[in-house]
């Protein structure tokens, strides 16, 4: 045991013994960047024209530059989202990020929402840092075609190019990285068919492939099949894919594939035939034919006598049906016909009579609106469960509440797949307006109508699940506040306003001219006009929709409008 005097001496020497260790750890923490990477950062600062307050000169980039992350004396991540250019830099803005090639240890580059107008340079294909795993260029103003070898360099796990103006075909090279898990190409102007992706052992770890909201077309077959093997969720909705012979789809989705708003025959929520024909005519391509059932080998060998017997039997059945119909018509002609006034055709083509011309047309419910809350409604549509929706909305808490609507409370949420949704929660006992809206959305679909993703009923609660609209409604867009009062726009430009007005007109044209019977919205206002990422119009607030009055009840049209307020 040390004597007391020796113990005191040891305590005095302890700081001197630990000082070299502390100095070495401090030096390691403040290890300077390599000159090549420091030069690359300053080159990137100059080419992007970033403000000095974000990336100050004569300061340590790892400690003082916003969005720059370093690890072990190397630049590991750059985040431009939220940064701004100087006035001079904004005038010469371009896709000028050549300095990234000097950051050999870069793992993540995020320019989401940062303006990078221009084409993606060709060197992005094979000269990205080999350590790069995340590349996010969402809504960055990028245009032009994708480099043919994009994805051949780096070790990409996430590639996000959504919300730009990219055109041309999707190169197969974007799937080259074996570690790719998220690939988002949605809301661009990409064309052509889906590429056939080669799938090998260990390539099935992908989570999401999203190419919705583009101009992709052609037969959907082998390309979709290979993508389904590579990714858990494949979203190719809002395109113009046709159906190739031999391809059979049982439902709109098998749990992993979203196919809404395409040109697929025999599937729900697809584009109109006229819309598809016009698109393929403009592109000079034939619309893919629907699948044809091939005859079985047994039928090919049927003798001609059996064929003749079948034809004669069918002809006999037709003759019997014709004679029966003629006899029924003759019997009915002998009866007294009701007067023509007050007769109209409902949605099923059945003639019905009103007792008097003063009957409110809303009493005569069309065939797409159920009179009972639970009559004819499925318990679950598209695989949503009450527990799932309760979870994504935080238990329908106030933090996820968007607003209290006239027909129910509206919440926002995000599914496990990353898809953002809006959920309307209503009480079946207090309001039946949503039954009309649900019946319409189940049977009708159009590019300008808000898409219904799912519906379910639990006890006395009804939940309607809609696609999330990134720009909110027209009220929010018209009265938005600029981020910078000096440089920001006070409101929408006139080109965008004209685009929105045309979109609303197309939605009303669908209701008035393409629906049978013609329908009236009765609740057109700014909050009813919903806007997607590129200010594409989706008409909502459909709970007041009703058939257009016939000639005998047009005098009551203004009364119906007043009653909806």
pLDDT of 313: 65
Q: What's the average model confidence in pLDDT over 366-370?
A: 36
pLDDT of 462: 82
Going through 428-515 in order, the beta strands assigned E by DSSP cover 452-458, 461-467
Whether 523 is a known active-site residue: answer: yes
pLDDT of 347: 40
Confidence of residue 346 (pLDDT cuts 50, 70, 90): very low
Structure tokens at 40: 């690359």
Query: What H or E segment, with its residue span, contains residue 78?
Result: strand 74-79
> Of 49 and 319, which is predicted with more confidence?
49
Confidence of residue 490 (pLDDT cuts 50, 70, 90): low
* Predicted confidence (pLDDT) per residue in 372-427, tens digit: 333 433 333 456 788 888 888 888 888 888 888 777 888 988 887 778 888 888 87
* Predicted confidence (pLDDT) per residue in 172-208, tens digit: 889 888 889 999 999 999 999 888 887 765 555 788 9
Confidence of residue 358 (pLDDT cuts 50, 70, 90): very low
Q: What's the average model confidence in pLDDT over 243-259?
A: 58
Alpha-carbon gap, residue 259 to 250, rounded angstroms: 12
Q: Is the dihedral of CA 438, 442, 444, 449 positive or negative?
A: positive
* Predicted confidence (pLDDT) per residue in 30-63, tens digit: 578 898 999 999 999 999 999 989 999 888 999 9
Q: What is the mean pLDDT of the chain?
A: 75
Residue 115 pLDDT > 50, yes or no?
yes
Distance, C-alpha 382 to centroid of its chain:
16
Alpha-carbon gap, residue 391 to 411, rounded angstroms: 12
Place of tokens 């300095």: 99
Alpha-carbon gap, residue 418 to 212, rounded angstroms: 14
Contacts of 449 (CB under 8 A, 6+ apart): 441, 507, 510, 538, 539, 542
Confidence of residue 324 (pLDDT cuts 50, 70, 90): low
Residue 363 pLDDT > 60, yes or no?
no
pLDDT of 362: 30
Confidence of residue 5 (pLDDT cuts 50, 70, 90): low
Alpha-carbon gap, residue 209 to 316, rounded angstroms: 55
Alpha-carbon gap, residue 125 to 224, rounded angstroms: 24
pLDDT of 24: 43
pLDDT of 455: 81
Active-site residue identified among 54, 235, 473, 523: 523
Radius of gyration from C-alpha coordinates of the chain: 32
Confidence of residue 251 (pLDDT cuts 50, 70, 90): very low
């Amino acid at each position: 045991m040390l004597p007391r005097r020796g113990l005191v001496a040891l305590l005095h020497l302890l700081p001197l013994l630990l000082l070299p260790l502390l100095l070495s750890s401090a030096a390691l923490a403040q290890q300077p960047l390599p000159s090549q990477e420091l030069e690359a950062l300053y080159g990137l600062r100059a080419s992007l024209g970033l403000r000095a307050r974000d990336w100050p000169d004569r300061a340590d980039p790892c400690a003082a530059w916003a969005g720059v992350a370093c690890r072990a004396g190397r630049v590991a991540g750059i985040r431009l989202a939220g940064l701004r250019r100087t006035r001079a830099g904004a005038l010469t803005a371009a896709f000028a990020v050549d300095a990234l090639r000097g950051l050999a240890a870069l793992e993540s580059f995020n320019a989401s929402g940062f303006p990078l107008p221009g084409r993606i340079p060709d060197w992005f294909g094979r000269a990205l840092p080999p350590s790069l795993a995340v590349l996010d260029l969402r809504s960055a103003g990028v245009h032009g075609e994708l480099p043919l070898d994009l994805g051949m360099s780096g070790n990409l796990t996430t590639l996000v190019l959504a919300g730009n103006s990219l055109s041309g075909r999707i190169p197969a090279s974007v799937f080259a990285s074996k570690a790719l898990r998220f690939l988002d190409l949605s809301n661009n102007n990409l064309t052509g068919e889906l590429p056939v992706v080669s799938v090998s052992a260990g390539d099935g770890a992908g989570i999401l492939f999203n190419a919705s909201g583009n101009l992709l077309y052609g037969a959907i077959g082998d390309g979709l099949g290979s993508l389904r093997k590579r990714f858990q969720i494949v979203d190719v909705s809002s395109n113009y894919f046709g159906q190739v012979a031999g391809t059979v789809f049982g439902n709109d989705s098998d749990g992993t594939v979203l196919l809404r708003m395409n040109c697929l025959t025999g599937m729900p929520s697809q584009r109109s035939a006229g819309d598809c024909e016009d698109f393929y005519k403009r592109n000079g391509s034939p619309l893919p034919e629907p699948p044809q059932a091939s005859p079985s080998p047994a039928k090919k060998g049927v003798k001609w006598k059996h064929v003749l017997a079948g034809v004669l039997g069918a002809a006999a059945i037709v003759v019997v049906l014709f004679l029966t119909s003629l006899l029924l018509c003759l019997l009915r002609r002998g009866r007294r016909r009701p007067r023509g006034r007050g007769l109209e055709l409902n949605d099923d083509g059945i003639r019905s009579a009103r007792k008097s011309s003063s009957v409110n047309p809303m009493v005569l419910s069309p065939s797409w609106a159920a009179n009972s809350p639970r009559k004819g409604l499925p318990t679950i549509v598209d695989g949503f469960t009450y527990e799932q929706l309760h979870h994504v909305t935080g238990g329908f808490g106030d933090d996820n509440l968007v607003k209290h609507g006239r027909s129910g409370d509206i919440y926002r949420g995000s599914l496990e797949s990353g898809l953002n949704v809006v959920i309307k929660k209503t009480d079946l006992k207090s309001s039946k307006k949503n039954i009309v809206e649900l019946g319409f959305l189940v049977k009708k679909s159009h590019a300008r109508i808000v898409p219904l993703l799912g519906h379910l009923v639990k006890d006395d609660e009804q939940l309607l699940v809609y696609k999330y609209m990134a720009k909110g409604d027209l009220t929010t867009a018209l009265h938005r506040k600029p981020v910078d009062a000096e440089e920001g726009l006070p409101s929408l430009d006139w080109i965008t306003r004209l685009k929105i007005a045309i979109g609303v007109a197309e939605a009303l044209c669908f209701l008035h001219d393409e629906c049978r019977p013609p329908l009236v919205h009765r609740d057109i206002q700014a909050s009813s006009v919903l806007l997607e990422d590129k200010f594409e119009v989706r008409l909502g607030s459909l709970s007041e929709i009703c058939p257009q009055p016939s000639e005998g009840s047009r005098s009551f049209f203004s009364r119906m409008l007043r009653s909806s307020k």
